[in-house]
Structure 1
Amino acid sequence: MKKIILSLLALVSLASTYSCTNLTENVLDEASVSGLSDKQLADGNIAPVYAQLPNIFLHTNYFNLQEISTDEAILPYRGGTDWGDNGIYLAMHQHTTTSTDPNLLSTWNYLVQSLSRSVSAINTLPTLKDPSAKVYLAEARGMRAYYSMVMLDLFGVVFVKDDPQANSAVLRGDPAYNYILSELLAVEPDLLPTVGPGRLSKGAAWGLLARLYLNAAVYRDRYASQFTFPAADMDKVVEYCDKIINSGQYQLSRDYFSLFNQTNHDNKELIFAVDQRAELNGNNRLAYFSLSGDQFPIPAFPAANGTDGPGITPDYYRTWVNAYGAKDPSVDPRFYKQNLSIYSNPGDSCVAEADFNVNRGILRGQQYGLIRVNGAFLKCPDGKYKVGRLFNVTRNRPTLPVNFTEQINYTVAGSDYNTGYRVEKYEFSKKSTSGRNLGDADIVIVRLADIYLMRAEAKLRKSNDAAGALADVNTVRASRTLTTPPPALTIMSLDLLFQERGFEFYWEMLRRTDMIRFGKYEGTWTEKTNTDKQKRIFPIPQTAVDGASNLPGYLVQNPGY
């Protein structure tokens, strides 16, 4: 009887990684799929390829690896009781992470499961006669290339196979880079230009190709003392950035924070993103991760508060201060957006539910918000919600104001609940049924501002075209016109461009990759002094290495771990 395999097939080297998930192959015969059209079967095969993206981008997974390992974010052992987790967040920031880190394993698991689902789809889609199958096949191969690109960036390895029953080849360095490049180039002609940011489009492939070429020097020679960026690679970066910019399909957003709103799926600056619309069961974790335990962003949910997670390091904050001198950094509309008027008008202490929104950007000093007493929010006589100064009530310190300070470190005082300025970039979903689930905001992977800044970097690296790079950077700055845009820059260099990428993309999970490419990752910042170049990639999870031990030499641990 004809058999149709609809489930994922695990990579051989990762079998033990999934031993706790009871991952089993589900083989359906023709009777069990009777009545399904080829279009329905095609839809059913491509959906799992994208399904794990929200889990990959969880706050403790990809965000943790890309941000807490850098100078942008730090997560201390809060108050000696929260976020201890056996020191894994301290180690991530200090570059002393080990191969037993559970968040590394979780990120690895979701990536390789997504690779396996891609392989399954690639093998099934060619058997279906619906016209959508050809496009879906290109998307499945392209997503396999994307997951491989993330694996290469994080762990320095790529798994390659087309036959679900075969062992994967393990590639590193130049062969791994060349494989990803060849796959993206192969599928680009068959991708559609207008499928929205939640699917791999032609524009998304162009953006990933530009990013791949820009980081080629790193991927080819991971531990180089100084990276060499060939002119041919930089030409390709410019070529693919030009394709996106000249397509006219994308547009820089006037409102910077609208890029991270619950309705951002239709924002024309987004090129490729994790589709998190409520009906697709997203989450609000990136929204509440950094907030105080006494900040409640949604009046309808008095149990949905922040977690007093990571703050930004003083080192990163000072880059804003140094750039703006006598002016407060909040003159840059990317830095801060005030939504609660009580900050500037103390008389505005009663707010209608529909008008309540927490402030966005970098949150400093005394915080104001909804006041919760005995599990319920206080209301004004007119029925509006009472807004006032917040105290650390949920931490059993009701006289301690929620007053975020610049300094944050691993000392007892520096790890308290008030330490560190916080970041609220993504908006909470008001469609949520609990305050923490069903996040609407798509998580950005590639957006148009990155295209302009990648092109600027390529111009600088190829021919020191400071004028061309400056024009690209100022184009992005000048676009944020909902309020007064940041002032135009007058000079440009690689160091200034690195600074500008920090201003534009903070906490968007690009920082670690940027720091390595710009030669900054071995630097010193708050609580981090490790200068080991081998920490540019993470250890392969020990369970994956152990699971491949029956194949000697198959999966070798990265140097330094």
Structure 2
Amino acid sequence: MKNNIKLTTWLVGSLLTFSACTDLNVDLKSTYTEYPDSEIAKEAKMAGLYYGFGGALGRRYMEAALLSSDEFMAVTFGGNWYDGGNYIHSSLHASLPGDAHVDWAGDIPAAITKCNQAIFDLGGEDENNAEQEALIAPALAMRAFYHFIFMDTFGATPKLDHLIGDSEAIDRSPRSEITKFIESDLLRALASGGLKEDVDASTYGKPTKWMAEALLAKLYINWAVYTCDDVATYDPSMTNSKLNDVIKYCDDIIASGHFDLSDGYRKKFMPDNGYQIKDFIYAMPYQNNETSTRANTYARFQFWPKFNNDGADGKGLFGITLSQNAGGIFIVTPEAADRFCLEGDERNEIIMKGAINYYDISTHTMGTEPYIYNGQQVVLTKNITILNDQMDLGNDLNAWCQGYRCIKWAIQADDYNLYNRNQSNDVPIFRYADILLMKAEAILRGATATNGDTPQSLFNQIRSYCNAPLLEHTPSLNELLEERGREFYAETWRRNDLIRFGKFEDDWGYKNQYHPEAQTEKWRRIFPVSVGLMNSNTNWKQNYGY
């Protein structure tokens, strides 16, 4: 992301501070009796709301989402990166409340508290006051988004619809209740007219009308999942009463004309991505030198681990020597690797496999010169040989070369020489491509088609822009799921998709070899609530099974 995108936030950030706590209790502040008289004043009240998910998305949430899906498996190298089992527990569907990949959960109540504080400071909620509703609309949309993240990940969620006093204990509400609360907040925000429709640098990374509609579409496509309070009993054959609503909001986004697929696939994930990417409806901005608020470390875990040099002081994978290597413990599962096989598909280029050559760090294209490490060309193999229950592969060149690697999130030299492997690649949360495929899925599941769109025509818009072969028939639901696996690989949506399609318990990677019960323990579709949150809220019950 570019620095100018964050200028407003940095200018006004010092004007307003919020208390943030994981025990959900805050000190109440006095409310304003007059509305802000300028956009700058309003933005000052909202400045702290937008990036409460940034830290988690950049690391710990990413670990939970990617490793629990069929996209990646975590490994260790001679015990290095075992870290108490944090990574492999997610891969094996054996998460524990003390694992770091769930320890970000407290960020979400803290972020919701900031939303509620802004609403309070701006005069409070009054659904009968049109001016007031428009004023607080961005805070309502962000409050809905944060509840969505918590609910999708952990199930039952505290309904935080007001500032919590010191003596007030808040229980977790059933998932179905929270789902309807999220819907209500989004519909209010949209009806108020207070969400901007502009798509430019000033609205990037913030809640717009289109962000709220995309979130509603995502909520509705998962409606049957989210209104089933016992996650273990959800089945994809259950009726989804909101499929036509998916179509409604997808159509509005499509008709807006603000979004398209004109950018090349790889371009969208480069370090210089940002508001100019026409596919991005809502994204989390990152900057490698601003790690005090957010840090994106995707490449650190997904790239080949020793890419910074040639085993000595010579040039590494990118033709230069970097001061730090990658962790490299996320390997592409064989099942995911097999998806990237369509002739001409630009998305194939995000998977590094076989004998690899040096890459140009400025263009991120592979050259013709073999990449030599310790005197041998680096050759990556699809399958791996696990030595023990710590998912250990050993700690030598043979170990490091096991497993294909994802290079979707390209790096800059400064990331590894100056900024502790933190990246500037913004991470999209809602994309136009997702809108097209959600509409296709809704039609396949029984919604009424609109505007002459068919699942095949929508599906082929995706295939066309990335130069993959067009489909000559109506896609099946399984083909659509596979396409989503290619299009949104390593973007944290795969777990969500697998649960909706009833595939989360399927055998992939090596999880069922080391945890056979993962095939039947459907309560693992949600994670345990972290030890920290449970200790701070002693009235809460831990999720079943954990």
Taking structure 2 as the reference length, the TM-score comes to 0.80
Q: 2: CA distance between counterparts of 1:409 and 1:42? A: 57
Q: 2: CA distance between counterparts of 1:67 and 1:174? A: 25
Q: Deviations over 1:481-515 (max 9, x none)?
A: xxx44433434111111111101111110010000
Shift in CA distance, 248/41, structure 1 to aligned 2, threshold 3 Å: closer
Shift in CA distance, 115/409, structure 1 to aligned 2, threshold 3 Å: farther
Where 1:51 maps in the other structure, the secondary structure is coil
Q: How does 1:114-129 map to 2 (within 5 A)?
A: 114-126=111-123
Identity %: 26
Answering whether residue 204 of structure 2 is matched by residue 219 of structure 1, we say no
Shift in CA distance, 275/126, structure 1 to aligned 2, threshold 3 Å: farther
Answering whether residue 282 of structure 2 is matched by residue 293 of structure 1, we say no
Q: How does 1:448-487 map to 2 (within 5 A)?
A: 448-462=432-446, 468-480=454-466, 484-487=467-470
Q: Which residue of 2 aligns with 1:513?
A: 496
Q: 2: CA distance between counterparts of 1:293 and 1:508? A: 20
Answering whether residue 525 of structure 2 is matched by residue 536 of structure 1, we say yes
Whether the 8 Å contact between 2:31 and 2:122 is mirrored in structure 1 is no
Q: How does 1:12-161 map to 2 (within 5 A)?
A: 12=23, 41-59=41-59, 61-77=60-76, 79-105=77-103, 107-126=104-123, 137-160=136-159, 161=161
Whether the 8 Å contact between 2:456 and 2:471 is mirrored in structure 1 is no
Shift in CA distance, 370/263, structure 1 to aligned 2, threshold 3 Å: closer
Answering whether residue 199 of structure 2 is matched by residue 199 of structure 1, we say no
Q: Which residue of 1 aligns with 2:4?
A: none
Answering whether residue 399 of structure 2 is matched by residue 408 of structure 1, we say no
Q: 1: CA distance between counterparts of 2:122 and 2:319? A: 46
Where 2:262 maps in the other structure, the secondary structure is coil
Q: Which runs of 5 or more residues in structure 1 are unaligned?
A: 16-23, 31-35, 337-360, 372-376, 378-385, 393-397
Per-residue deviation, 1:464: 9.7
Answering whether residue 326 of structure 2 is matched by residue 306 of structure 1, we say yes
Per-residue deviation, 1:82: 2.1
Corresponding letter in the other structure for 1:76: V
Q: Deviations over 1:290-311 (max 9, x none)?
A: 1123324777872143222201
Shift in CA distance, 418/199, structure 1 to aligned 2, threshold 3 Å: same
Q: Deviations over 1:447-493 (max 9, x none)?
A: 0000000001100111697982111100121123xxx4443343411
Where 1:289 maps in the other structure, the secondary structure is helix
Q: Deviations over 1:407-442 (max 9, x none)?
A: 135336856211110001123246757254663321
Q: Which residue of 1 aligns with 2:21?
A: 10
Q: 2: CA distance between counterparts of 1:229 and 1:486? A: 32
Match of residue 283, structure 2, among 248, 259, 273: 273
Q: Which residue of 1 aligns with 2:190?
A: 188
Q: 2: CA distance between counterparts of 1:66 and 1:104? A: 10
Corresponding letter in the other structure for 1:180: I
Q: Which residue of 2 aligns with 1:19?
A: none
Where 1:445 maps in the other structure, the secondary structure is strand
Q: 2: CA distance between counterparts of 1:299 and 1:117? A: 45
Where 1:462 maps in the other structure, the secondary structure is coil
Shift in CA distance, 136/320, structure 1 to aligned 2, threshold 3 Å: same
Taking structure 1 as the reference length, the TM-score comes to 0.78
Shift in CA distance, 69/7, structure 1 to aligned 2, threshold 3 Å: same
Q: Deviations over 1:79-117 (max 9, x none)?
A: 213221122212111111111112211x20222221222
Q: Which runs of 5 or more residues in structure 2 are unaligned?
A: 1-14, 125-129, 309-316, 362-366, 513-517
The number of equivalent residue pairs is 483
Corresponding letter in the other structure for 2:207: L
Q: 1: CA distance between counterparts of 2:289 and 2:62? A: 23
Where 1:143 maps in the other structure, the secondary structure is helix
Whether the 8 Å contact between 2:105 and 2:533 is mirrored in structure 1 is no
Match of residue 236, structure 1, among 232, 245, 267: 245
Shift in CA distance, 134/194, structure 1 to aligned 2, threshold 3 Å: farther
Where 1:8 maps in the other structure, the secondary structure is coil
Q: 2: CA distance between counterparts of 1:477 and 1:28? A: 54
Per-residue deviation, 1:559: 0.9
Corresponding letter in the other structure for 2:332: I
- Aligned CA RMSD, in angstroms, stands at 3.4
Q: Which residue of 1 aligns with 2:351?
A: 362
Per-residue deviation, 1:150: 0.8
Q: 2: CA distance between counterparts of 1:454 and 1:267? A: 20
Whether the 8 Å contact between 1:284 and 1:435 is mirrored in structure 2 is no
Per-residue deviation, 1:230: 3.6
Whether the 8 Å contact between 2:213 and 2:249 is mirrored in structure 1 is yes
Shift in CA distance, 112/399, structure 1 to aligned 2, threshold 3 Å: farther
Q: Deviations over 1:129-150 (max 9, x none)?
A: xx99976621122111101101
